[in-house]
Amino acid sequence: MKVRFWGTRGSIATPGPETVHFGGNTSCVEVTTASGNRLILDCGTGARALAVELTAQGKKASNSNILFGHTHWDHIQGFPFFSPAFVKGNSVAIYGPEGSRVPLRDVLAGQMEFTYFPVDLNELPATITYHDLTEGIHTIGGARVATQFLNHPAMTVGYRIEADGVAMVYLVDHEPFSDELWRADAEPGHIESILHDGDRRHAKFMAGADLVIHDAQYTPEEYLSKKTWGHSTYEYVVQIAAAAGVRRVALTHHDPGHDDQFIANIERSARSLALQHATGLDVFCAYEGCELVLEPRAALRAFVTEAVVQAPVAQRRFRILVVDDQPDTLTMIVRALEAEEYDVSTATNGPDALRLIDGDLPDLLVLDYKMTGMDGMAVMNALRAEPATQQLPVLMLTAMNDEPSTRAGFEAGVTDYVTKPFSIPQLTSRVRACLARTQST
Ligand SMILES: [Zn+2]
Ligand SMILES: [Zn+2]
């Protein structure tokens, strides 16, 4: 398997003398398997140069698979310049997470509306197919491709591509689920010792991979003021990849404010941190033009997931009960969920919530941890004690991001644990992930 980086920048293209080495084009990675199949991860501005290269190869007809992690600007901006889509006889299969109430095709058509671009998506001569994804295992371009939701203020999936006896994993854009990575009562450095279910699932998704390409936009110092923006630090990536037994990590989605020297310093810090972990993890900062050939090192352990390919959730109307004793927070959450076309009901205390659930079981409960009287944890315990509500998905909202509270939440059986302050897009994508997961079982 061959991997080539065409764009390594996050947020916005940043050309200029300061970024010559690591590159100024936004996210785009080309994966070519031994059988000649091409999988393109994201189509940021880097996709233009890739398209030029493909055209120069002069093949009569080309087939491309484009896998979008999500449809933020810096990941789709190169798509209208992907010239193979302008050639009749070519085919382009496009994959990406289903949008919030809008299919992937419509999202891509949006940036090619006449106001923004002269060629309409419908006018492209190539045969284009669209595939909306949730979590599961798929076959794309002859490769086994697993998808899993990431933590980002938009529905975003990570990809694990297994072919030619190797596994490469693409995890851009993503931020830690929890401030604390490790449980206090377990030895750090092992997947089982990871505190938050989300981070543990993330580690398992990359386990044993030959290459992990991971968002590492911020330094740990910068991250303090950029929480909820949906990006990681090299510190998180190195720790989690070392625990997951990853062979090599490429840090990417470089911040537009970081010049070559700054990124070289990040690389140094990341390497010395990896050395401390002594798992043999090789880490570097991805640069434009970097090409890697992945060779099998041992029998590949295929990724196993409980999830089969899941039914799309966009078409269904879900019922969500929101329980919070703060009227402002309650109103804000209800508005956000109603805008996503969920049927929302509310309660302002635990006993009322239990009564409502008893009368009519919702699809999801969004539950505040700290409430006067019966708190969220007491509601959880009551729900899990009853067979009828043992499986009810519960997303717990809390200002308590400390290790004991997070642990108590998961031990009580919450499905997800979201700490305040959160952004609305972050909340709605976590709600969607909860619903998509629980609908499959
Ligand atoms: Zn991005
Ligand atoms: Zn993004």
How many angstroms does the Cα of residue 238 sit away from the middle of ligand 1? 20
Higher pLDDT, 420 or 267: 267
Section 320-345 average pLDDT: 95
**Shortest-distance ligand to the CA of residue 97:** 2
* Per-residue confidence (pLDDT) for residue 191, from 0 to 100: 97
Can you tell me the distance from the alpha carbon of 351 to that of 182, in angstroms, rounded to the nearest whole number? 34
How many angstroms does the Cα of residue 19 sit away from the middle of ligand 1? 17
**Shortest-distance ligand to the CA of residue 154:** 2
Can you tell me the distance from the alpha carbon of 122 to that of 13, in angstroms, rounded to the nearest whole number? 27
State the residue for tokens 């919530």. Answer: 353
Tens digits of residue pLDDT in 91-149: 999 999 986 678 889 999 999 999 999 999 999 999 999 999 989 999 999 999 999 99
Can you tell me the distance from the alpha carbon of 242 to that of 283, in angstroms, rounded to the nearest whole number? 10
**Shortest-distance ligand to the CA of residue 429:** 2
Contacts of 250 (CB under 8 A, 6+ apart): 5, 211, 212, 213, 214, 283, 284, 285, 286, 290, 292
Is residue 441's pLDDT more than 60? no
Q: Which amino acid is at 374?
A: M
How many angstroms does the Cα of residue 14 sit away from the middle of ligand 1? 13
From residue 116, alpha-carbon distances to 11, 76, 111, 288 in Å are: 19, 13, 6, 27
HEC letters along 330-395: HHHHHHHHHHCCCEEEEECCHHHHHHHHHHCCCCEEEEECCCCCCCHHHHHHHHHHCHHHCCCCEE
How many angstroms does the Cα of residue 100 sit away from the middle of ligand 2? 14
pLDDT range class, residue 160, cuts 50, 70, 90: very high
pLDDT range class, residue 313, cuts 50, 70, 90: low
**Shortest-distance ligand to the CA of residue 217:** 1
Tell me the pTM.
0.95
Is residue 311's pLDDT more than 60? no
Least confident interval from 18-32, 149-163, 213-227, 422-436: 422-436
pLDDT range class, residue 57, cuts 50, 70, 90: confident
Section 331-344 average pLDDT: 94
Q: What is the token pair recorded at 120?
A: 């309409």
**Shortest-distance ligand to the CA of residue 12:** 1
* Per-residue confidence (pLDDT) for residue 100, from 0 to 100: 63
Higher pLDDT, 349 or 308: 349
**Shortest-distance ligand to the CA of residue 74:** 1
Can you tell me the distance from the alpha carbon of 230 to that of 428, in angstroms, rounded to the nearest whole number? 13
How many angstroms does the Cα of residue 262 sit away from the middle of ligand 1? 19
